[in-house]
């Protein structure tokens, strides 16, 4: 027994220690891949890896131009200190770039700096991108085509069954007559399927009634639900003029929702980012991982930015996005009310955009859906917000320990949303 | 109260069977089924049941199918978002409204860069946060598609470059040959604009600037020149006056600075238990004006007698305070004059006498009275004059003569429209056409501009920079709140007149820089608060209005910078007044004015059999915003008539002359022709109780043929009465003493809201007088009592239903009837805030106006049982007298009525789809998307405040005048309020969008809601602070305190006895008059009338 038990234990220990070691190893060994990430997060806004100048100079050939890796690390970490130490090359770089100081990156560890420098010195060659246009738009349509339409499937199955039944009936009839012929019995007359059904129905009235009831009930209820679905666009994900991916921005790059939707705590609308917000990053990032330069070029077109000259030279052309979440005009929904006061997470209504390529309406956005949530949700800030002090006291008295939901505060009254 | 009879109109008073029947119906007109069906053929063929079912089936299917399609909505963000804009959040900018007559410091609400609402600026020490209907409506005038989008040359579009080149060349040629160039403008109170004109005059030295006010007050300034040696209109302070005597000065609606005066006046009309004191206001006038309607004692006098009233008042005051009396003639109203004189003399130094006359002689006498009463420096300040009216009638008349003689080579008109407004006798249009080069800065091809060679359209004030100096030591700024609507590349664009003049003067400066330079040099040195100009400028711009100098003394110490620079034209050397009157004559000391001669001249004025007094309406004013449908639809506060001007006549006189008495005002009225000195117009005759017999009144500002597209859609609105203005002794007289009126034997329809939604004689307004109020703060406000099985009880204590739980807020509104002057500012403000549709004359006639807030005007006569007893009038005569408006000079009460947000609302119970119900904070909510239009609620509303959308006013081309039907006009809509569609009921929401916004701000800032943080639109716009709004659950709120204080005082709820428990309460009107008003019914023993209500 002992040996039997010891063996797996050792194995477990070995696995744990391996995982631990590999964790330490991975933590210590910041690879060039991490260098890419660090670069993207911190540097790409102002520096390109090519020769073109953004806010700062292009970094191609930095290995040969700069005095050395250690110098580079010092410069990145705190260029101001380096300049003040009287480093001649540092001062030269500063003067060459119109004396626009670079930010300090004191928070980068030595390992990270090493990885970053390695990455900058030898960036991976840009991959050849597929040239076919608007892949995101195609991608949108694709899933719908791949998945079988359930209705068609159902009709197919029913039709198949009917054919099978018809064939089997014929087969049965032929076999029966064949048998009858063999046994010398009189041949049965071919009875039409309809007559046979009627005979069967006459004999089994209860079953027939149940079937009819089932069919009528089914039709009525499906009709009812179909009517209720009018005007509900759950799952709506229109093709946008730019194949923008929430997954890449909010998911992979973990950009906070409010960086772009900055009105969410200030206004009733969260706001669609204006092109100048896109340009904050995309001045430097002219190429994306899935669509290459084509989609980002559309931002440049809208902003009037000439990436070659690095200047806004052309006329501005606003981007006409397609609105995904549409509420009727007679509904007043306030984002600040829900996000700032009610502390709701964006995902509660908008779904997990970090995994969505194109924004999609994941909730029905019907009044029933609103009320359902208001009936269940407590206001998290109610206890601490002095605004609610007296109201909270009175409601706590009234409902004695019951959760004080939004509805109990009057949150489902008509004029809270309709005026 | 039982014997005091109130009536809304003569028709109610006469109580004809037809009126009673109509009044019983909620909807006075038949339902227009045929109009809904649209196709008349269809109706004549008859729709049978099968067809109906087919249509029904088809439309249901079609509607469902149509609904299945996903609407694709675009969302187009800015490319580069302006830093200050957050979509969905309003920005407020301080600015200034000045149209040549009304001045108001304002704040402008903008949403996504569009101005959508105007409110008063509390920082201003002049208008103190007040606005009037015209200021409120001016935001719609910005989005007027009749505005020119670029300069025109003889009517054809042109480019600014060409226009500048051509005009520059022509002006240079004229100046070179010494030809006369004239700038004709309304009053200019902008120091920078005066500077610009001076620059222009420096470049073209033959330039002279003539100021012409549409409605002029030059009589006042000329009189002051004689009395004080200062040709100015003084500033008045009604707040300091205990006794006010106005001789036909409508100072609450139009006269000099009505917004400022309303604010001041209201301060003297606020009474409470601890402050049972109010001003006493006498009014002598011909037309029943808004001011007269608010007076404690109003005396109708003929136009020709107004001057004599001043003389007799002078004598009566002189008799008491000691002074020489003037030659006078006896008047019928001498008894009232004596009473007024006594009151004045008792409040020496705390009284004010004003006259609406533009006659220098009358104003001289008025000056004399005020001097005797020692009012100068106290209620009237000649040292700190008002600059808003600088018009010089004599100079204007002289200019017209010069033009007619062909002596003027070029004329530039700015913010003035004399072809429309000038008196007929001057024949301005002919004279104008004789000028070689005619340039206009008008924003549209109006009556004058359409005759000009060049129109160089000025930008709207909300698109412009400007500065203002309305009063000595008071300055304000206007800043653009929107980029010019008409600009490159789509249009050639409008350009601010000042910029145009600067360009022509060869000054390359931008007008903003020019203003800053002016302020740096002239205004900045006058103040001592800021060290740096930038700081001073930014603060001034932020606050909108500033007062420079700490007090009178300091302002006087810097006369060179102020009065010399502004009161007189800025560059006096360059811009000489056309009329070069010998200065010595004007600067006569007070003693030199011989009032005896003046009085003799006044006494020599001979009255005619029928005299005409012209007046300005609260809405349309002088007519410069005649293209504004909000103002056209605003009911006149007195006559309640919309979309028209008309002849007001005393009812007795009308009956005598056989005019239709308008049993229903919204039906037919007789047309009559009015002729003065050969000019004739035809207008409907309207009975006006209180009109002095032997006089008629006609409003100016109507009959504009070229005001814009509104007249194309509705026909020319009213008739132009300006030609009737007379030029007498060098000043304009807005009256005519010899008028002939003839019945045209035709009829027309008039759109009055007078008796719409009448309250069937229930006790709605409560009134007392000051004497009684002092004795008993609850006088006039008796409790409604009901008989119950357990005895007689106060109606307020009986409740059939459970009350609502109010854990959070409990919104309440209280309206002080004593402060409300009925000006209608709230009505327009509500229209702007809540996207209320304009329905037009035809629909108003059918009682379908959409205003959520109306101001009911009640007339009442003085006669009651006590007066009858005192005067020994018999019972039959007494009742006759009570109900005879022709003999009586009725008292007027205004009462704003909006949804009363009843806690037991009758409308809520009857809605079959629960579209209207109650909120936990006390609002009666109306959900438009739920409403199916049964109109049961309106039928069940005792206040008649619900409005039904009979048509799609936003799409139906019959209502093309609606701002929402125009791409530009739509920009004025408040995005926070739904635009209602056909078939939906609507009503006052107590500005729930503002409540929601205010609550959210408090939640966000994590602080309890501050009292006053939420103001309803009507409350904010009220120039007399008559409307209180707030949280009744907050013990420290102003309204909660007021309700508590007035609970056993003036506070009352309308129709309390029917158990509806309204949220809106009213405070009894207190009139400072001698007539005693019967005490409220005793609470016991007066139950017979109430018994039936118990069953109701």
- Residue B416: CB atoms within 10 Å: 27
Do A410 and B927 make contact, defined as CB atoms within 8 angstroms? no
- Kindly tell me if the per-residue pLDDT of A141 is higher than 60: no
Q: How far is B55 from chain A (nearest CA, A)?
A: 20
- Kindly tell me if the per-residue pLDDT of B21 is higher than 80: no
Q: pLDDT confidence of B236, banded at 50, 70, 90?
A: very high
Number of residues in chain B? 1096
Do A320 and B74 make contact, defined as CB atoms within 8 angstroms? yes
Share of chain B above pLDDT 70, in %: 85
Residue of B nearest to A386 (CA): B1007
Scanning A53-82 for CB atoms below 8 A from B yields none
> Can you give the pLDDT at residue B664?
52
Share of chain B above pLDDT 90, in %: 36
Q: pLDDT confidence of B6, banded at 50, 70, 90?
A: low
Scanning A226-245 for CB atoms below 8 A from B yields 227, 230-231, 233, 236, 238
Q: How far apart are the first and last CA of chain B?
A: 23
**Beta-strand relationship, B297-300 and B280-285:** parallel
**Beta-strand relationship, B233-236 and B380-386:** antiparallel
Q: How far apart are the first and last CA of chain A?
A: 77
Enter the CATH code of domain B608-752.
2.40.40.20
> Can you give the pLDDT at residue B838?
92
> Can you give the pLDDT at residue A144?
39
**What mean pLDDT do residues B715-730 have?**
88
Q: Which residue has the tokens 């000691």?
A: B322
- Residue B570: CB atoms within 10 Å: 25
- Kindly tell me if the per-residue pLDDT of A2 is higher than 80: no
Residue of B nearest to A396 (CA): B807
> Can you give the pLDDT at residue B24?
62
Question: Cα A350–A352–A355 angle (5° rounding)?
Answer: 130
Could you read off the pLDDT of A288-343 as tens digits, one per residue?
888 888 899 999 999 999 888 888 888 989 999 999 888 888 899 999 999 988 88
User: According to the 3-state scheme, what is the secondary structure of B605-668?
Assistant: CCCCCCEEEEECECCCECCCCCCCHHHHHCCCCCCCEECCCCEEECHHHHHHHCCCCCCCCCCE
Do B74 and A268 make contact, defined as CB atoms within 8 angstroms? no
**What mean pLDDT do residues B951-962 have?**
89
CB < 8 Å to A340, chain B: 1004
- Kindly tell me if the per-residue pLDDT of B254 is higher than 80: yes
User: According to the 3-state scheme, what is the secondary structure of B499-536?
Assistant: HHHHHHCCCCCCHHHHHHHHHHHHHHHHCCCCCCHHHH
**What mean pLDDT do residues B533-545 have?**
90
CA dihedral sign, ordered A9, A11, A17, A22: negative
Q: How far is B915 from chain A (nearest CA, A)?
A: 8
Residue of A nearest to B981 (CA): A330
Domains and CATH numbers, chain A: 32-121 (1.10.760.10), 150-228 (no CATH), 374-419 (no CATH)
Segments of B344-489 assigned E as strands: 351-355, 380-386, 408-414, 437-440, 454-455, 466-471, 474-478
Query: What's the CA gap between B1062 and B948, in Å, rounded?
Result: 22
In this complex, the residue of A233, A321, A328 whose CB is nearest that of residue B74 is: A321
CA dihedral sign, ordered A228, A229, A233, A234: positive
CA distances in angstroms from A61 to A92, A100, A271, B548, listed in the order given: 17, 21, 41, 65
Which is more confident, A61 or B626?
A: B626
Could you read off the pLDDT of A23-49 as tens digits, one per residue?
444 444 455 567 777 887 778 777 777
> Can you give the pLDDT at residue B19?
62
In this complex, the residue of A276, A318, A418 whose CB is nearest that of residue B927 is: A418
Q: Where in chain B is the domain with CATH 3.30.70.20?
A: 6-14+758-1095
Q: Which residue has the tokens 């675009």?
A: B74
Q: How far is B1009 from chain A (nearest CA, A)?
A: 6
Could you read off the pLDDT of A373-386 as tens digits, one per residue?
999 988 877 778 88
Of the candidates B302, B214, B281, which has an alpha carbon nearest to the alpha carbon of residue B254?
Answer: B214
Of the candidates B658, B472, B680, B445, which has an alpha carbon nearest to the alpha carbon of residue B564?
Answer: B472
By the 10 Å C-beta count (0-12 exposed, 13-18 middle, 19+ buried), B957 is classed as exposed
B543 touching chain A per CB within 8 A: no
The structure tokens listed for A142 are: 């694709």
Residue of A nearest to B914 (CA): A414
Query: What's the CA gap between B286 and B617, in Å, rounded?
Result: 15
- Kindly tell me if the per-residue pLDDT of A139 is higher than 60: no
Q: Which of B1004, B1009, B1032 should we substitute to test contact with A (largest number of A Cβ atoms within 10 Å)? A: B1004
Could you read off the pLDDT of A275-290 as tens digits, one per residue?
999 998 888 888 888 8
Which helix (H) or strand (E) segment holds residue B116: the answer is: strand B114-120
- Residue B784: CB atoms within 10 Å: 19
- The per-residue pLDDT of chain A, averaged, comes to 80
Of the candidates B422, B421, B426, B417, which has an alpha carbon nearest to the alpha carbon of residue B448?
Answer: B417
Query: What's the CA gap between B595 and B602, in Å, rounded?
Result: 10
Residue of B nearest to A239 (CA): B72
A414 touching chain B per CB within 8 A: yes
Could you read off the pLDDT of B330-354 as tens digits, one per residue?
888 888 898 899 889 888 889 999 9
Q: Where in chain B is the domain with CATH 3.40.228.10?
A: 218-388+585-601
> Can you give the pLDDT at residue A15?
59
A366 touching chain B per CB within 8 A: no
- Domain B152-216+391-567 top-level CATH class: alpha beta
Q: Where in chain B is the domain with CATH 2.40.40.20?
A: 608-752
Q: Where in chain B is the domain with CATH 3.40.50.740?
A: 152-216+391-567
**Beta-strand relationship, B474-478 and B545-547:** antiparallel
Q: Which of A387, A389, A394 should we substitute to test contact with B (largest number of B Cβ atoms within 10 Å)? A: A387
> Can you give the pLDDT at residue B574?
36
Do A418 and B978 make contact, defined as CB atoms within 8 angstroms? yes
In this complex, the residue of B86, B805, B920 whose CB is nearest that of residue A266 is: B86
Question: Cα A356–A240–A289 angle (5° rounding)?
Answer: 55
In this structure, what DSSP letter does residue B836 have? P
Which helix (H) or strand (E) segment holds residue B743: the answer is: strand B740-749
CA dihedral sign, ordered B866, B857, B358, B671: negative
**What mean pLDDT do residues B934-950 have?**
91
> Can you give the pLDDT at residue B856?
87
CB pairs under 8 A between A and B: 160
Q: How far is B1002 from chain A (nearest CA, A)?
A: 7
Q: Say what angle helices B306-321 and B595-603 make with each other, to 10 degrees.
A: 140
Query: What's the CA gap between B105 and B103, in Å, rounded?
Result: 7
Q: Are B841 and B710 in contact (CB under 8 A)?
A: no
The alpha carbon of B788 is separated from its chain's Cα centroid by a whole number of angstroms, namely 47
Measured in degrees and rounded to the nearest 5, phi and psi for residue B627 equal -90, 10
> Can you give the pLDDT at residue B779?
82
Could you read off the pLDDT of B751-783 as tens digits, one per residue?
888 665 455 556 788 888 888 888 888 888 888
Scanning A319-338 for CB atoms below 8 A from B yields 319-323, 326, 328-330, 332, 334, 336-337
**What mean pLDDT do residues B33-48 have?**
55
What's the CATH architecture for B6-14+758-1095? 2-Layer Sandwich (3.30)
The 10 Å CB-count burial string (b at 16+, else e) for B718-732 is bbbbbbbbbbbebbb
> Can you give the pLDDT at residue B551?
36
- Kindly tell me if the per-residue pLDDT of B275 is higher than 60: yes
Which is more confident, B69 or B231?
A: B231
- Kindly tell me if the per-residue pLDDT of B23 is higher than 80: no
User: Which of the listed CATH numbers 3.40.630.30, 2.40.40.20, 3.40.228.10, 3.40.50.2300 matches domain B218-388+585-601?
Assistant: 3.40.228.10
Q: Are B494 and B457 in contact (CB under 8 A)?
A: yes
Could you read off the pLDDT of B66-122 as tens digits, one per residue?
655 666 888 898 888 888 888 889 999 999 999 988 999 999 999 988 999 999 998
Do A332 and B88 make contact, defined as CB atoms within 8 angstroms? no
Query: What's the CA gap between B909 and B905, in Å, rounded?
Result: 7
- Kindly tell me if the per-residue pLDDT of B40 is higher than 80: no
Q: pLDDT confidence of B1, banded at 50, 70, 90?
A: very low
- Kindly tell me if the per-residue pLDDT of B967 is higher than 70: yes
Segments of B750-853 assigned E as strands: 751-752, 767-769, 785-788, 791-794, 811-816
Q: pLDDT confidence of B566, banded at 50, 70, 90?
A: very low
- Kindly tell me if the per-residue pLDDT of A5 is higher than 50: no
In this structure, what DSSP letter does residue B872 have? T
Q: Are B229 and B588 in contact (CB under 8 A)?
A: yes
Could you read off the pLDDT of A173-203 as tens digits, one per residue?
888 888 888 888 777 777 777 888 888 888 8
ipTM of the complex in this document: 0.79
Which is more confident, B26 or B581?
A: B26
CA distances in angstroms from B625 to B618, B822, B828, listed in the order given: 12, 20, 14
CA distances in angstroms from B89 to A321, B113, B129, B365, B829, listed in the order given: 21, 10, 23, 55, 20
Do B807 and A303 make contact, defined as CB atoms within 8 angstroms? no
- The per-residue pLDDT of chain B, averaged, comes to 83
> Can you give the pLDDT at residue B589?
45
Query: What's the CA gap between B924 and B907, in Å, rounded?
Result: 9
**What mean pLDDT do residues A142-164 have?**
75
């Amino acid at each position: 027994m002992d040996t039997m038990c010891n063996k797996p234990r050792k194995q477990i220990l070995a696995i744990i220690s391996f995982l631990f070691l590999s964790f330490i190893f991975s933590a210590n060994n910041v690879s060039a891949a991490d260098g890419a990430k660090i670069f993207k997060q911190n540097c790409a806004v102002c520096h390109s890896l090519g020769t073109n100048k953004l806010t700062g100079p292009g970094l191609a050939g930095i290995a040969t131009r700069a005095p050395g890796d250690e110098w580079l690390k010092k410069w990145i970490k705190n260029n101001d200190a380096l300049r003040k130490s009287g480093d001649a090359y540092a001062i030269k770089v500063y003067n060459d770039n119109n004396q626009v100081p670079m930010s300090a990156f004191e928070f980068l560890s030595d390992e990270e700096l090493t990885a970053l420098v390695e990455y900058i010195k030898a960036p991976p060659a840009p991959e050849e991108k597929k040239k076919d246009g608007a892949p995101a738009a195609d991608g949108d349509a694709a899933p719908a085509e791949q998945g079988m339409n359930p209705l068609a499937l159902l009709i197919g199955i029913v039709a198949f069954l009917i054919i099978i039944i018809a064939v089997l009936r014929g087969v049965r009839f032929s076999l029966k007559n064949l048998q009858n012929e063999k046994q010398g019995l009189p041949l049965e007359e071919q009875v039409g399927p309809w007559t046979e059904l009627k005979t069967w129905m006459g004999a089994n009235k209860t079953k027939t009634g149940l079937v009819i009831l089932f069919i009528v009930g089914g039709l009525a209820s499906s009709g009812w639900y179909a009517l209720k679905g009018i005007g509900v666009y759950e799952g709506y994900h229109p093709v946008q003029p730019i194949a923008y991916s929430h997954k890449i921005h909010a998911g992979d790059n973990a950009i906070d929702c409010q960086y772009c939707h900055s009105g969410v705590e200030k206004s009733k609308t969260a706001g669609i980012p204006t092109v100048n917000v896109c340009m904050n990053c995309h001045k430097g990032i002219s190429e994306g991982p899935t669509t290459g330069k084509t989609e980002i070029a559309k931002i440049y077109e809208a902003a009037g930015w000439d990436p070659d000259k690095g200047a806004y030279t052309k006329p501005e052309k606003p981007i006409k996005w397609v609105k995904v979440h549409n509420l009727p005009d007679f509904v007043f929904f306030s984002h600040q009310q829900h996000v700032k006061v009610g502390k709701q997470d964006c995902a509660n209504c908008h779904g997990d955009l970090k995994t969505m390529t194109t924004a999609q309406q994941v909730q029905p956005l019907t009044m029933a859906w609103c009320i359902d949530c208001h009936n269940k949700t407590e206001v998290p800030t109610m206890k601490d917000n002095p605004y609610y002090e007296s109201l909270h006291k009175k409601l706590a008295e009234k409902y004695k320990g019951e959760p004080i939901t939004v509805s109990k505060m009057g949150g489902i009254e008509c004029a809270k949303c309709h005026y | 109260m039982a014997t005091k009879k109130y009536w809304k109109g003569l028709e109610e008073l006469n109580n004809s069977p037809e009126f009673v029947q109509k009044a019983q119906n909620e909807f006075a007109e038949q339902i227009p089924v045929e109009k809904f069906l649209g196709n008349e053929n269809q109706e004549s063929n008859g729709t049978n049941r099968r067809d109906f079912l087919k249509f029904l089936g088809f439309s249901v299917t079609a509607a469902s199918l149509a609904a299945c399609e996903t609407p694709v909505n675009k969302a187009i963000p800015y490319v580069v978002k302006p830093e200050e804009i957050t979509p969905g959040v309003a920005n407020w900018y301080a600015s200034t409204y000045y149209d040549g007559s009304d001045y108001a410091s304002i704040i402008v609400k903008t949403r996504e860069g569009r101005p959508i609402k105007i409110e008063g600026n509390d920082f201003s020490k002049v208008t103190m946060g007040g606005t009037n209907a015209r200021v409120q409506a001016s935001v719609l005038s910005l989005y007027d598609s009749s505005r020119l989008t670029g300069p025109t040359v003889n009517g054809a579009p042109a480019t600014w470059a060409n226009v500048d080149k051509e005009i520059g060349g022509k002006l240079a040629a004229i100046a070179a040959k010494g030809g006369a160039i004239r700038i004709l403008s309304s009053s200019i109170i902008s120091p920078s604009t005066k500077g610009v004109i001076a620059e222009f005059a420096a470049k073209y030295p033959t330039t002279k600037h003539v100021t012409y006010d549409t409605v002029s007050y030059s009589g006042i300034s000329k009189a002051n020149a004689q009395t004080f040696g200062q040709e100015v209109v003084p500033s008045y302070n009604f707040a300091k006056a205990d006794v006010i005597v106005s001789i036909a000065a409508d100072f609450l609606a139009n006269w000099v600075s009505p917004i400022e005066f309303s604010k001041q006046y209201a301060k003297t009309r606020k009474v409470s238990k601890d402050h049972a004191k109010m001003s006493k206001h006498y009014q002598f006038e011909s037309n029943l004006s808004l001011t007269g309607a608010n007076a404690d004692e109003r005396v109708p006098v003929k136009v020709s007698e107004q001057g004599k009233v001043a003389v007799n008042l002078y004598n009566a005051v002189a008799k008491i305070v000691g002074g020489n009396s003037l030659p006078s003639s006896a008047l019928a109203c001498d008894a009232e004059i004596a009473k007024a004189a006594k009151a004045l003399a008792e409040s020496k130094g705390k009284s004010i006498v004003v006259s609406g006359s533009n006659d220098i002689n009358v104003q001289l006498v008025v000056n004399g009275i005020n001097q005797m009463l020692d009012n100068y420096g106290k209620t009237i300040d000649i040292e700190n004059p008002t600059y808003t009216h600088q018009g010089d009638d004599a100079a204007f008349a002289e200019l017209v003569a010069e033009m007619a003689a062909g002596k003027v080579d070029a004329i530039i008109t700015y913010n003035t429209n004399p072809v429309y407004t000038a008196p007929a006798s001057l024949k301005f249009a002919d004279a104008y056409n004789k000028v070689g080069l005619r340039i206009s800065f008008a924003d549209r091809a109006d009556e004058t501009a359409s005759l000009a060679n060049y129109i160089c359209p000025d930008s709207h004030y909300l698109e412009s920079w400007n500065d203002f100096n309305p009063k000595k030591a008071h300055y304000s700024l206007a800043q653009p709140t929107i980029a010019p609507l008409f600009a490159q590349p789509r249009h050639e664009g409008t350009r601010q007149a000042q910029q145009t003049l600067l360009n022509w003067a060869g000054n390359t400066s931008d007008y903003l820089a020019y203003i800053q330079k002016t302020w740096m040099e002239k205004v900045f040195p006058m103040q001592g608060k800021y060290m740096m100009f930038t700081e001073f400028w930014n603060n001034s711009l932020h606050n909108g209005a500033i007062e420079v100098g700490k007090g009178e003394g300091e302002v006087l110490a810097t006369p060179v910078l102020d009065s010399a620079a502004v009161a007189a034209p800025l560059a006096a050397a360059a811009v000489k007044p056309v009329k070069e009157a010998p200065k010595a004559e004007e600067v006569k000391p007070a003693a030199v004015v011989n009032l005896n001669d003046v009085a003799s001249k006044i006494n020599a004025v001979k009255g005619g059999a029928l005299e005409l007094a012209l007046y300005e309406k609260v809405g349309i004013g002088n007519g410069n915003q005649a293209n504004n449908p909000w103002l056209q639809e605003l009911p006149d506060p007195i006559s309640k008539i919309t979309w028209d001007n008309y002849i007001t006549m005393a009812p007795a006189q009308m009956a005598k002359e056989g005019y239709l008495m308008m049993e229903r005002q919204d039906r037919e009225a007789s047309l009559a022709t009015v002729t003065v000195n050969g000019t004739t117009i035809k207008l409907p005759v309207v009975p006006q109780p209180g009109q002095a017999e032997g006089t008629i009144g006609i409003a100016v500002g109507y009959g504009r043929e070229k005001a814009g597209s509104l007249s194309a859609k509705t026909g020319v609105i009213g008739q132009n009465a300006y030609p009737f203005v007379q030029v007498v002794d060098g000043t304009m007289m807005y009256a005519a003493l010899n008028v002939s009126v003839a019945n045209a034997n035709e009829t027309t329809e008039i759109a009055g809201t007078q008796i719409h939604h009448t309250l069937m004689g229930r006790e709605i307004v409560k009134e007392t007088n000051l004497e009684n109020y002092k004795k008993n703060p609850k006088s006039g406000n008796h409790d409604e009592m009901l008989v119950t099985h357990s005895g007689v009880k106060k109606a307020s204590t009986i409740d059939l239903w459970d009350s609502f739980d109010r854990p959070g807020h409990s919104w309440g509104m209280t309206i002080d009837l004593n402060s409300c002057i009925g000006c209608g500012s709230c009505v327009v403000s509500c229209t702007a805030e809540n996207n209320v549709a304009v329905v037009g004359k035809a629909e108003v006639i059918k009682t379908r106006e959409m205003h959520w807030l109306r101001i009911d005007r009640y007339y009442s006569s003085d006669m009651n049982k006590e007066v009858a007893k005192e005067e020994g009038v018999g019972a039959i005569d007494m009742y006759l007298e009570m109900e005879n408006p022709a003999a009586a000079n009725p008292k007027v009460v205004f009462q704003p009525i909006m949804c009363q947000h009843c806690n037991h609302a009758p409308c809520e119970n009857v809605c079959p789809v629960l579209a209207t119900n109650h909120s936990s904070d006390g609002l009666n909510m109306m959900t438009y998307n739920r409403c199916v239009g049964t109109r049961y609620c309106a039928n069940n509303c005792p206040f008649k405040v619900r409005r039904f959308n009979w048509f799609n006013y936003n799409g139906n081309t019959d209502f093309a005048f609606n701002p929402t039907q125009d791409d530009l006009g739509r920009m004025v809509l408040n995005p926070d309020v739904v635009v209602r569609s056909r078939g939906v009921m609507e009503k006052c929401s107590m500005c729930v969008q503002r409540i929601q916004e205010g609550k959210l701000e408090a939640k966000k800032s994590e602080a309890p809601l501050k009292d006053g943080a939420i103001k309803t639109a009507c409350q904010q716009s009220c120039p007399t602070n008559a409307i209180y709004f707030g949280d009744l659950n907050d013990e420290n709120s102003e309204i909660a305190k007021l309700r508590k204080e007035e609970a056993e005082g003036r506070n009352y709820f309308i129709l309390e006895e029917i158990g509806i428990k309204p949220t809106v309460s009213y405070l009894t009107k207190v009139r400072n008059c001698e007539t005693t008003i019967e005490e409220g019914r005793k609470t016991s023993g007066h139950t017979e009338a109430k018994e039936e209500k118990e069953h109701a």
